[in-house]
Amino acid sequence: MFKIKKEHRDLATVPAQLVGSVEQAAAVARKNLSWLVAGVALAVVAALAVGGFLWVRQQEDQAATELLREGTQIVSARPMGAMPVPRRESEETKKAVELFRQVLAEFPRSSVAPQAAYLLGNALSDLEEWDGAVSAYQDFLSRYGEHRSLVPLVSMRLGYAHLSQGKVEEAEKAFSAIVKMHGALNKDQALFELAKIDERLNRPEGALARYQEIMKDHPQSPFATEASVRIKTLDARKAAEQ
């Protein structure tokens, strides 16, 4: 009978192979661990950076809000439409102007910066500093043009500032921009001012069309009553001329 010859492994090589495999696994683990530690460290640094940024923004917002509140208290203490501003109140209004300018200079990205820009233009208008007011309103539209709730109001005040300077065509552009804005709540007022400009420039047909648009599209507007009166006046004037 033939005997099957069994191969005998060299048992001395087994521990060496095992040690090599363990060392290789340890090297891989050390390499992965270093990447893991680096990733965790990077995540911690990023979290600290974001947290620090948010904390700084919060502090800036608080400081800007306090300045805005102080300036708003000054301008709100004077009755609206009281023009010209008395001397004492004029000095107070100038303080408010400086506060609003401080907000824009030091905290231009704060959440209250658009309000400060709008109120700055209003305060300068109260002081009849029309060039400064126009500049403030235009700066608002340039920097915060995405602020939908304030843009129509700023454009309206810009139009009035132009009218105060005798710049009728510039005022007409400002009011026309409001009419084209989707969802502008003061569109009826802008139409009324445009109609008045048409009358001023001897364009009765244009004025009549705008007054009729107010009556049609904004029947509940406080300007609708005056528009009705103006329509009758223009019709009577036209009949008299004929």
Region 78-98 average pLDDT = 72
Q: How many helices (H) and strands (E) does the chain have?
A: 9, 0
Among candidate residues 80, 68, 73, the one with its CA nearest the CA of residue 116: 68
Among candidate residues 155, 92, 171, 83, the one with its CA nearest the CA of residue 125: 83
Q: How far apart are CA 198 and CA 176, in angstroms?
A: 12
Q: For residue range 120-133, list pLDDT tens digits in order.
A: 999 999 999 999 99
Selected from 3.40.47.10, 1.25.40.10, 3.30.70.660, 1.20.1250.20, the CATH number assigned to the domain covering 13-241 reads: 1.25.40.10
As a whole number, the mean pLDDT across the chain is 84
Among candidate residues 161, 146, 239, 237, the one with its CA nearest the CA of residue 193: 161
The tokens describing 10, both together, are 């060299």
Quick one: pLDDT band at residue 207, thresholds 50, 70, 90? very high
In contact, 137 and 162? CB cutoff 8 Å: no
Q: How far apart are CA 232 and CA 227, in angstroms?
A: 9
% of the chain residues with pLDDT over 70: 72
> What sign has the CA pseudo-torsion 39, 40, 46, 49?
negative
Q: What is the pLDDT of residue 220?
A: 95
Q: For residue range 134-181, list pLDDT tens digits in order.
A: 999 999 999 999 999 999 999 999 999 999 999 999 999 999 999 999
Greater model confidence, 3 or 24 = 24
Region 94-121 average pLDDT = 96
Q: Which of 53-62, 141-150, 157-166, 201-210 is predicted least confidently? A: 53-62
Amino acid at 82: A
